[in-house]
Structure formats: structure tokens, C-alpha cells
A and B are shown apart, each in its own frame.
Chain A
């Protein structure tokens, strides 16, 4: 007799027993398949993890994946400003591409503004005195560098150190957050490096790198952060934190400035509507979408061309788009941290579903440096996008503060620092709870090499380079424009396509806006 399904009371199905196995863990923003508990989050966000991955990505792609795009950017002058003759104001730098399967066009683009782009031997007071380092005082956490010259309320430090804005207390201090280095010994002199020997003493000069934390424009004082500072010693070693202040009598200049367009550095995920998403499983969705749980209040940018939204990844070299910033409320739209170009739309805004998600978050460390008296112990990393009190947003945080080796760099920037020979020492926030670091590292080595090979193969063989976005044509893409503004540290309206002079593999210059192309 055939077995009858169900019970003897009929063919009702039996109640299903709950099986927890098919339940998938919660997916996090930048990885998949892990339950985001606090330990996991700390491990994932640790500087150590980025540092280690950066080394790996540098050594894995250094040989094969040299997507370097050197450039010189000519800074446009404001309308109505007379042009001067002679050498134009330029920003030299390089874009470096890191092949990836995590972006539609297969590349994370990182940018570098070369050290020495801004020099203080061109900064003068109202009487023409050049702003060398006159004296330095210090407290536990900062050096206070007094610049030579006569500074007062009526004669403050000149732009970009300080720009007075009517109605905005404190004005605009555009280069706060830049890395400054005392590497110019004489007016117009060649910047020294850690090998340069002082002919008078036959010893190496040495220099100090530190982040400009704040500016006192009326007294001519720059406040440099001790934590994270780096000193090139007479022994040619790089020591952090620096053991002495910047040298009196020298001129400051800017250090190397990095930015990256990857999701990790930006804390932003950008979806581009493309039908080319057939390379990776994670990119099978043709339409960008945002999980509801990921939506947060924050600001976002819209790229427009002639008032019409234009999200193209690349443009013609003769087209300049505008960047409009939508922020929670206009009163928080304070330069230089937020730079509107056309207009700002007031009112509470959220991420832009389907296009951007998780905007404006910023890694903040709770510490200065344990070796410096008065600093606190290192705490949990945290992200801060805005602060609120009683459901009212009280401040928007969109600062970008390089802390030299303490900065929350992404792995691509660590990779570039490795290549340039200034790979920072091992960060102290070593991941916890990992069963075997040897096994983890071995897996990392294998996966990085495999990923790089795969990404390169996807770019070069399966899809061809023609689907890639390349600088400078992508410099006004929604994902790139905020990065360009941060990299150059100028208002985004001043990032114009016709300012780019690119340098091809032969070292020959070409200007894309003039229709020129790299040589083959």
C-alpha cells in the first residue's frame, strides 16, 4: 500500500520546522557575507588592515598594472583678473589607476598632487617681506610657527591662508589640513630632500613634515600638529613623531597630497547605470540600487551640464560640468569643507538612492600620539558624518584631514606610499580575533594576486580598454569631481578640463582640450 502523504486526518501538510541555515548574514557596506559585529568592524576598518593590503596591492600590481597618467594642471585665474606673463601657476601630479572588479569601469583612480606645489617663499606681507619661519613655540600637541612679516587685523595672512568672508566668523582658511614641510632653505631654492647635505656643516639638513591644524591670520601663526608628524633626521631616517620643530629661517611648502576615488576613501558608493556589468557576479544588477537600510541623511553632489543632470563617466575635453551640492541645511554649507558651485538646495537630504549611498562619513581617531604627553589612549575608530542634538543637526563634518602616517588612507594610497619609498611603519591597531595571521596573510597574498590578474584581464582582454574611464576625461564624473576638488584644494568650478596638460609614456605633453592625443 502506497504511503499516504499527510496525517490520517487528511492531506494537510505538516508544519515546517524553522531551518536557520539558509538565513544569510547581514551584508555590510563594503564587504559581503560577514556579520558586522563590533570586532569585525574594528578589524575591517583598522589602519593595519589597509596598510597590509596596501603593501600587497603595490607588490602585486607594480610590475604589470602601471596605469599612470602624469599631468600638469594650469590653475585658472578668476574672471577679470589680469593674466601675468612668465610661468603659469601649475599643479603637477599623477593619476594612478588600480584595476578592480568592484567598479563598473574596472578601475579605482587615485590622485597625487606632487610635493612642493605650494611654496611659502611667494607669500609676502603688505610690505613685501617673505613669510619664512620666524620662530616656533610649542605645547604638548602643537607647534606654533610664527611667520616673518607684519601681520594684523588689517594686514592678515594672504589667501589661500586666510580669506575674509563677510558674515562668516573666522573666514576661510583654505589650506588648513595640508601637510607642510620646511624644505625650502632659500628663496627660490630647490626643495631639499632627506639626502641633501648642508655645505656649511657637511651634515644633512633634515626637515619636518606636519599637518597644518589651524591658522591665526592676524598674528601670522600657523598651528602644526605634532601627532603624526615626520622628521627626516641627519641620519637620513624618517622618524615619527618629529623630535624637533620646523627650522627657523626656512620656508614651508606643501607635502604630497593624496586622494582616491575608491569607496573606502570616499566612504561613498557610486552606482553608474551601465549595461556592461557582466564581468563580476557582484555587478550583475544593471540598475543601481540602494538598500533602504543603508540610506542616511547626508549631503550629495549632482553634476549638471547646462542645468541638466549629467552623470556621464567621461566627457569631452571641451565640456565643463557644474557640481551642485545638496546638503541638509544651507547654514551648514560652510566653506571650505563644502564647496557649492552653482547652488545649494536647502532642506533635509538623504543619500541619493540608486546613485550614491553612505555619504560624507569620516574616520576620526580619538587620539593624538601615545608617545606625546597628554595624549589619550587609542580608542575605537568611529565615523562622523554629522552631529545632532534633539533631532536637529548641529554640525556637518566633511573635513579631510591628512595626518601623515596616521591618516585614514585607503589601501591604494598605502600602495602608492610604498612605491614612493615612504611606506609608514606598521600601525598599532592590529586586528584582533583572527585565528591565524599566517593563514590570513597567505590568503591575502593569493587573493590579491588573483584579483589583480583577473581585473587586468577583464580590462584588457574581455572588455578592452575602450570601456575604461580615463583621466582627464573622467575628472568631472560624479565620483571624481569631489575627489578632484579635495586633491587640488581649489573650488570645484576651478577644476576645468582645459587646464589639463597630460604627459604620455614618451614624456611628450599633450592637451586633450586642444584635441591632442598621446602618442602611440
Chain B
């Protein structure tokens, strides 16, 4: 479920046994897929194209706005 870069290196994948133990109690829970999408050790690939606002730029805009007393929209 990564963004547009679609490269997420996940360090572990739950075994079927681990997934099974995630069913709490006796209720019938249905699920599929890998439980965790982002994990603490992941690296994302977020290549922003020209004309897009990158995360780096957005955080810069936020701090610059903050110093002049402007809040988010």
C-alpha cells in the first residue's frame, strides 16, 4: 500500500501461525493480506516529479509559514 514509488522494504512478514494468533477471543474474524503495511524498518521511495510539492518542500513551507504566524489551510 505504498504510495506512488511502490517500494517498501519490509523486514518481516508474519507467518501463518502468527496471523492465526491475531484472532482474539472466539469471535469469527475474517481477514486477508499482510497485516502491517509500513513497519519501523521500512524505507519508502517518494520521487516527486517537477511541479509537485514534495514532502521536503511541504515541511519547509510549514516552518516558513509558522515563523510568520500563518497556519495551515
Contact = CB atoms under 8 A, between A and B. Distances in A.
Interface of A: 63-64, 66, 68, 70-72, 75-81, 84-94, 96, 112, 114-123, 158-161, 163, 165, 172, 174-175, 183, 188-191, 193, 256, 258, 335-336, 339, 341, 416-417, 419-422, 460, 488-491, 493-494, 496, 503, 505-509, 519-520
Interface of B: 1-5, 7, 9, 11-12, 14, 18, 21-22, 24-25, 29-49, 51-67, 70-73
Contacts of B37: 70, 94, 503, 507
Contacts of B55: 75, 89-91, 117-119
A188 B63 contact: no
A165 B36 CA distance: 41
10 contacts: A70-B39, A78-B64, A94-B36, A159-B63, A174-B63, A190-B45, A416-B40, A420-B39, A496-B72, A503-B38
Given A96-B40, A460-B24, A503-B37, A88 B53 contact: yes
Given A256-B40, A417-B40, 17 more contacts: A71-B38, A76-B72, A78-B64, A79-B72, A80-B73, A86-B51, A87-B48, A88-B53, A115-B43, A118-B56, A122-B57, A160-B60, A165-B67, A460-B24, A490-B59, A494-B72, A505-B33
A164 to B, nearest CB: 8
A417 B7 CA distance: 20
Nearest to A488: B59
A78 B67 contact: no
B3 to A, nearest CB: 6
Contacts of A66: 14, 18, 22, 35-36
A277 B43 CA distance: 39
A163 B67 contact: yes
A239 B65 CA distance: 40
B contact patch SS: loop
Contacts of A163: 60, 63-64, 67
Contact of A172 (B24, B25, B46, B63): B63
B59 A118 contact: yes
Please list the 6 inter-chain residue pairs (A to B) with the smallest Cβ-Cβ separation, ordered nearest first: A420-B41, A159-B60, A78-B65, A89-B58, A76-B72, A188-B47
B35 to A, nearest CB: 5
B47 A189 contact: yes
Contacts of B51: 84-86
B43 A191 contact: yes
Contacts of A172: 63, 67
A160 B59 contact: yes
A159 B45 CA distance: 21
A490 to B, nearest CB: 5
Contact of A72 (B3, B29, B35): B3
A331 B40 CA distance: 37
Given A116-B45, A122-B57, A87 B24 contact: no
Contacts of A84: 51-53
Nearest to A501: B1
